[in-house]
A and B are shown apart, each in its own frame.
Chain A
Amino acid sequence: MQKVKSPKLPGTAKLLLFPSVITLFVIGIFPLLFSLWVSTRQYELSKPYLPHSFVGIDNFKAVLWNPEFWTALRITFTFLLIALPLQLILGTLLAVYIYNLRSPRFSALLRVVLVLPIAVTPTITGLLGRLLFNSDFGVINYVLSLIGVEPVQWLADQKAAFIAVIMLDTWQWTPFAALVLIASLMVIPPQVLEAGELDAGAGWSLFRYMQLPFLLPGFTALLILRTADILKMYDTIYSFSKGGPGVATELVSLYINRIGFGKVFNIGMGSAQAILLLVICIVLSRTYIKLFYKEIEA
């Protein structure tokens, strides 16, 4: 029955499939339509006396003409373009290092340690960042002072705050990159490696020709997952800097949150921004999945 690739799903299988599909549809699509409706209204929660009059695409125009929105997008993509390669490179180094360790016990220990940052609540990572990067008594400034660096105002200086946020994200997610890449290396059959060692020798060329090809699926997966995460990123930055100083660390999710739920409570405008962000997410994910995902057997 299952062997035949029938395009029709048996009724009882539908019974298993539909509950989740219907639920996702209701909680995913319905709010979205609602969002779309709100985005065409003048809707400020802070001014309940105003009628929610229809304004057409004015909210969208306002968003697109607003430089703040573009700034938030620029900051988000700058973050992506710095953090992602950094984490991939560090993750690769870590993965290759751990994979080649000769002591199984030490490498097992390292792998357990690598799991820990991934589990840490991102909100707490941000709070912890405030403690470690504190300009008066933070450990990081203390260590810097040992090598003669003046105290850095991590939360007051725009560049420093951006660097600090990238460091926090890198602390939390490089281990994940490393673990995914170790798993990719683990699928190399030992015979292949041994043959490779005879052929290519050790060191760089062994890595380049024998290990790198096996790492590619891992890179792809990380690229997709981390891009999605960074476009969504909110918790760590909110608890660390609230997007400040100024808008230096205000990634797009934080910006929309400020417009929709901040002082102005401009839900109409926030919805328009959210919909634009959604479009960006869909285009990016479509492109990525089309380019990379082998999951779908056509």
Chain B
Amino acid sequence: MVNTKREHRKKPRLKFWELLVGSGVMFVILFPIYWMIITGLRPQTETFSTKPRLIPTFTLEHYREILAEGSVMHGLLNSTIIASISTLLALMLGAPAAYVLARWDFKKKNDLWFWIISNRFISPIVVVLPFFLIAINLKLVDTYWIMIIIYQTFAIPFVVWLSVDQFRAIPKEVDEAASVDGASILKTFFSINLPLAIPGLSVSAILVFVACWNELLFAQILTRSSAITGPVVALGYMSGYDIRWGPMMATSTLVVIPIILLAAALSKNLVRGLAMGAIK
């Protein structure tokens, strides 16, 4: 939108140095991702070559190996389940709260708001120590339950923080009209505000999903094998003296690619969500 306005102001021509800088930036960003992908697709001997080869000798041996071994798929499945349920739960709890925070002024609202956003500052290591002890006592270590619960510690604040603006963007008159018509607060929220906020909320949902999917510390300490998540499985290749680069990078690719594609496909909305959430 802004672009079209600027277009008639400036001639739409790319200068040479601009092309050069832009290509350089893209190269620096994309090369590591490219290198990860092809290291998973080339024989290990080629990885060790001192003169890097940009085009790999193509092989699927690493993928065959990790798929046969099974732990990677198991981890990705766990990641999908844990991240989906965590996101859903955080939305169910956080979205109504965001609506209330967007619509009403009340005593202690500032303190509440501050407490919710200050959660972003709390280091996960602070959270995980007591959770670990509690989980041992309740025999919840290595279960989906403990993962979904502990992910709420950052997912709920994140949803509230991102979603308040979505509800603020809906004109208050909508609520007032509904209340004149005799609709209850609950009805106004569920049948009017919630549907209107869904596009914005879906952006929050994706950002929270990505945060859960990418999380390491909690998963590393609270899972062992049955609830192990993708990043922990990928990290497993680091133990021992001989790092198996091929399987490690193939696993990494499988962990990263789904969310990279998701992010690229929705980049416009995500950027708006993230950036606006940040600037306010």
Residues of A within 8 A of B (CB): 1-3, 5-10, 12-13, 15-17, 19-21, 23-24, 27-28, 31-32, 34-35, 38, 94, 97, 101-104, 106-107, 109-124, 127-128, 130-132, 136-137, 139, 142, 171, 175-176, 179-180, 182-184, 186, 190, 194, 217-218, 221-222, 225, 228, 231-232, 234-235, 238-239, 252-253, 256-257, 260-261, 267, 270-271, 274-275, 277-278, 281-282, 284-286, 289, 293-296, 298
- Give complex CA distance A186, B255 in Å: 33
Asked if B214 and A121 make an inter-chain contact with CB atoms under 8 angstroms apart, the answer reads yes
A183–B10 CA distance with the chains assembled, in angstroms? 20
Partner of A190, one of B2, B113, B243: B2
9 tightest A-B CB contacts, nearest first: A183-B275, A31-B130, A16-B96, A119-B263, A221-B278, A285-B121, A20-B93, A123-B231, A20-B97
A239 touches B264 (CB 8 A): no
Known: A111-B268, A113-B30. 15 other contacts (CB 8 A): A1-B176, A1-B179, A2-B104, A15-B186, A27-B153, A31-B130, A104-B4, A109-B26, A116-B33, A121-B234, A235-B217, A253-B125, A253-B217, A281-B126, A285-B121
Cβ of B144 under 8 Å from chain A:
no
**Is the CB–CB distance between A234 and B272 below 8 Å?**
no
Q: In whole angstroms, how far apart are the Cα atoms of A56 and B243 in the complex? A: 45
Identify the stretch in B45-53, B62-70, B197-205 within 8 Å (CB) of chain A at 4 or more residues. Answer: B45-53
Contact indicator per residue, chain B 247-268, by CB within 8 Å of chain A (1) or not (0) = 0110010011001101110011
- Asked if A296 and B110 make an inter-chain contact with CB atoms under 8 angstroms apart, the answer reads yes
6 CB-based A-B contacts, threshold 8 Å: A2-B104, A17-B100, A128-B36, A130-B238, A171-B32, A238-B235
Instruction: Decide if B30 touches A16 in the complex (CB within 8 Å).
Output: no
Q: Which of B12, B25, B33, B234 has a CB less than 8 Å from the CB of A110?
A: B25
Cβ–Cβ contact B156 & A20, under 8 A: yes
* B14 lies within 8 A of A128 (CB): no
Q: In the complex, are the beta carbons of A10 and B248 less than 8 A apart?
A: no
Q: Given A17-B101, A20-B94, A295-B280, decide whether A101 and B186 contact each other with a Cβ distance below 8 A.
A: no
Interface size, chain B (Cβ < 8 Å): 120
Question: Among A5, A12, A253, which residue has its beta carbon within 8 angstroms of that of B123?
Answer: A253
Complex contact B14–A110 (CB within 8 A): no
- Bound form: Cα–Cα A221–B131 in Å: 30
Q: Is residue B127 within 8 Å, beta carbon to beta carbon, of the partner chain?
A: yes
Inter-chain contact B278/A261, CB cutoff 8 Å? no
Interface residues of B in 74-118 (CB under 8 A from A): 93-94, 96-97, 99-101, 103-107, 110, 112-114, 116-118
- Looking at the assembled complex, report how far the CB atom of B112 sits from the nearest CB atom of chain A, in whole angstroms: 7
Chain B residues with CB under 8 A of A289:
114, 117-118
- Taken together as a complex, chains A and B put the C-alpha atoms of A294 and B252 apart, in Å, by 40
Determine if A103 and B14 form an interchain contact, defined as CB atoms under 8 angstroms apart. yes
Chain B's interface: helix, strand, loop or mixed, by majority?
Answer: helix
Answer whether residue B191 sits at the interface, using C-beta atoms and an 8 A cutoff.
no
CB-contact partner of B278 in A21, A34, A130, A218, under 8 A? A218
Residues of A within 8 A of B96 (CB): 16-17, 19-20
Q: Decide yes or no: A2 and B119 within 8 Å by CB, A16-B185, A142-B50, A261-B221 being known contacts.
A: no
A271 surroundings in chain B (CB, below 8 A):
129-130
**Chain B positions within 8 Å of A252 at CB level:** 123
Q: Contact between A111 and B121 (Cβ–Cβ < 8 Å)?
A: no
Q: How far is the CA of A5 from the CA of B29 in the complex (A)?
A: 49
User: Is B271 a contact of A19 with CB atoms below 8 Å?
Assistant: no
Min CB distance A171 to B, Å, is 7
B139: which A residues are within 8 A, CB to CB? Answer: none
**Given A17-B96, A120-B33, does the pair A27, B149 have CB atoms closer than 8 Å?**
yes
Question: Could you say which residues of chain B place their CB within 8 Å of the CB of A274?
Answer: 123, 125-126, 129
Alpha-carbon gap, A246 to B84, bound state (A): 38
Does B184 belong to the interface (CB within 8 Å)? Answer: yes
Which of A32, A128, A222, A267 sits near B133, CB closer than 8 Å? A267
Residues of the B chain whose Cβ atoms lie less than 8 Å from the Cβ of A38: 129-130, 133
In the complex, the answer to whether B104 meets A183 with C-beta atoms within 8 Å is no
Judge whether B216 and A234 touch: CB under 8 Å.
yes
CB-CB < 8 A to B184: which residues of A?
12
Q: How far is the CB of B154 from chain A (nearest CB, A)?
A: 10
Are B11's CB and A102's CB within 8 A?
yes
Which residues from A are CB-within-8-Å of B47?
A: 131, 137
Q: Which B residues lie within 8 Å of A137 (CB)?
A: 47-50, 52
A173 to B5, CA, bound (A): 30
Give the residues in chain A near B123, CB-CB below 8 Å: 231-232, 252-253, 256, 274, 277-278, 281
Among residues of B, the one whose C-beta sits closest to the C-beta of A36 is B130
- Min CB distance B123 to A, Å, is 5
Which of A114, A183, A278 sits near B126, CB closer than 8 Å?
A278
B256–A121 CB distance below 8 A: yes
Q: Are A12 and B186 in contact (CB under 8 A)?
A: yes
